[in-house]
Amino acid sequence: MRALMSERGLAPNKRFGQNFLIEPRILDIIVRLADLAPNDIVLEVGTGMGTLTRRLAEDPSLLLSVEVDSGLYILSRDLLGNCEKLRLIHGDIMEGKTRLNSEVCERLDQALVAPNSGDFKVVSNLPYNISTPFLTTLILRYGMPDRLVLMLQKELADNLVAQPGSKDYSPLSILVQTLADVRVDRILGREVFWPRPKVESALVVIESHRIDPEPIARALPLVRFLFGERRKSIGGLLKRLPPTMGGASLDEEERARLLGSVDLTGKERAEELPPEAFLALERAIANSSWER
């Protein structure tokens, strides 16, 4: 890998968060966990030199692989040109902080509604610097993919599986856990990557509940609002609703009635509430009429 990159005058780019997986055994594990079937639609973010890409391209009906680095895109195109089911895309998976690459979306939109299309899966050694915005934006755009197998920074993996009351519990924990089962398959040392990252990594498997994402998508602005001051009581924070929910001011009686309708006292803190509590609270607010 190093020699081939050197021949092309390429080197790992810190700006793109490039740490290449070099352990074949881990590549085998990722492919096994992906459990690919012939009609699956697969998205890979970060083609790199195509070591994982080539293995993924053997089974699905379509593999979209996105690479932002121009040099690596050309190299992977040369190395993977004989993979019939592969569609390489040169570009950033994120167009801004909250929008996915338009070409990726166009191809996914077509593939996911095609006759006999299988599961939608995301399999990737995900660049750490885009992991959180990518996951959030992907889920809000498409709902939870049927399965994700992701190499992530361990800190983010801890965040995804965190339970209420944990320091790692966050809006992303709530979004993902509402829609899927999440587990850390294994922790990986720095030695399986080149160059070695400064942090530990984790291999994470996310399996969708296949439920409507709309309720949690509606509740997410409320979740983010309350987590903005996660250690304050929600009763105090709800003196005024967030602007995305109308921005109404609520007096003490109104807050007590609202919170009581979902079995909350107002003394709870956002970091202590399970995902279903946020869903119930959002529904209660939506079903009430508050004057600004």
| pLDDT tens, per residue, the chain with 292 residues | 777 777 888 877 777 888 889 999 999 999 999 999 999 999 999 999 999 999 999 888 899 999 999 999 999 999 998 898 999 999 999 998 899 999 999 999 999 999 999 999 999 999 888 999 999 999 999 999 999 999 999 999 999 999 999 999 999 999 999 999 999 999 999 999 988 998 999 999 999 999 999 999 999 999 999 999 999 999 999 998 888 888 888 899 999 999 999 999 999 999 999 999 999 999 999 988 654 4
Q: How far apart are CA 13 and CA 15, in angstroms?
A: 5
Q: Burial level of 231, CB count in 10 A (0-12/13-18/19+)?
A: exposed
Q: Which of 193, 211, 229 is the last residue of a domain?
A: 211
The domain total for the chain is 2
For residue 268, give the CATH number of its domain. Answer: 1.10.8.100
Range of the domain at 278: 215-286
Q: What phi and psi values does residue 237 have, to the nearest 5 degrees?
A: -70, -30
Q: Which of 169, 191, 211 is the last residue of a domain?
A: 211
CA distances from 77 to 45, 47, 72, 131 (A): 15, 10, 8, 24
Whether residue 86 is contained in a domain is answered as yes
For residue 165, give the CATH number of its domain. Answer: 3.40.50.150
51-56-59-60 Cα dihedral, nearest 10 degrees? -140
pTM for the structure as a whole: 0.93
> Does 184 lie in the same domain as 220?
no
> Does 181 lie in the same domain as 72?
yes
Q: How far apart are CA 65 and CA 57, in angstroms?
A: 10
End-to-end CA, the chain: 61
Report DSSP letters for 32-59, one per residue: HHHT--TT-EEEEE--TTSHHHHHHTTS
**Contact assessment for residue 79 and residue 49, using Cβ atoms and an 8 Å cutoff:** yes
